[in-house]
């Protein structure tokens, strides 16, 4: 086992970059004439963003600004899971956006199955909300990374702890 190389497949986002993107969005909301004094606001509680605006169109503008700030900061838009638009007090609308992170058990099982089918020399095992992939050669592990990247999952995947 001492000669094995390994890495982990995870799905995470940089929380501080997300906070920075929200701060930049709020700054732009205070400066743009169509969003200024509209009574709109955006808040982050753990892994849930709440956007409140006086109208559906204003809310969509705020979400567009947020998405552009996220892209500039290197955050993948796949981490956003939009909830339904709901009416809030005072005739405003609210939308909750959940920030996805961690591999679900179903996704982890499908990644492990994909690796076992396409790269039999590599060993994959589920460890919490990550998948550990190990193998004798680094070339095989790089091949596994290419195989996983080629799939279009609904979460951004990162390869960390490469040893």
Span 79-118, pLDDT tens digits: 999 999 998 888 889 999 999 988 888 888 988 999 888 8
Residue 35's pLDDT is what?
83
Whether residue 132 sits in one domain with residue 58: no
- Look up residue 6 and give its two tokens: 């390994």
42 and 76 inside one domain = yes
Q: Provide the whole-model pTM.
A: 0.82
Shared domain for 109 and 92, answered yes or no, is: no
Domain containing 27: what range?
Answer: 15-99
Provide the mean pLDDT of the chain.
88
List phi, psi (to 5°) of 130. -135, 165
Q: Is 107 found in the same domain as 89? A: no
Q: Are residues 23 and 91 in the same domain?
A: yes
Domain count, the chain: 2
3 confidence band (pLDDT: 50, 70, 90): low
Alpha-carbon torsion, ordered 153, 154, 155, 160, to 10 deg: 0
Claim to verify: residue 110 and residue 78 sit in the same structural domain:
no
The answer to whether residues 120 and 65 belong to one domain is no
Q: Return d(Cα 34, Cα 52) in angstroms, integer.
A: 15
Report the distance separating Cα 143 and Cα 46, nearest Å: 36
């Amino acid at each position: 086992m001492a000669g094995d190389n390994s890495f982990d497949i995870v799905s995470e986002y940089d929380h501080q970059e997300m906070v920075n993107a929200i701060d930049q969005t709020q700054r732009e909301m205070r400066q743009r004439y169509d969003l200024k004094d509209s009574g709109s606001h955006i808040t982050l509680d753990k892994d849930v963003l709440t956007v409140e605006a006086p109208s559906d169109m204003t809310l969509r503008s705020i979400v567009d600004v947020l998405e552009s700030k996220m892209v500039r900061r290197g955050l993948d838009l796949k981490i956003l899971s939009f909830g339904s638009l709901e009416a809030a007090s005072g005739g405003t609308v609210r939308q909750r956006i959940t920030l996805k992170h961690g591999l679900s058990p179903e996704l982890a099982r499908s990644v492990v199955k994909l690796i076992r089918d396409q790269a039999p020399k590599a060993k994959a095992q589920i460890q919490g909300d990550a998948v550990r992939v190990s193998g004798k050669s680094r070339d095989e592990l790089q091949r596994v990374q290419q195989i996983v990247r080629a799939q279009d999952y609904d979460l951004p995947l990162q390869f960390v702890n490469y040893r």
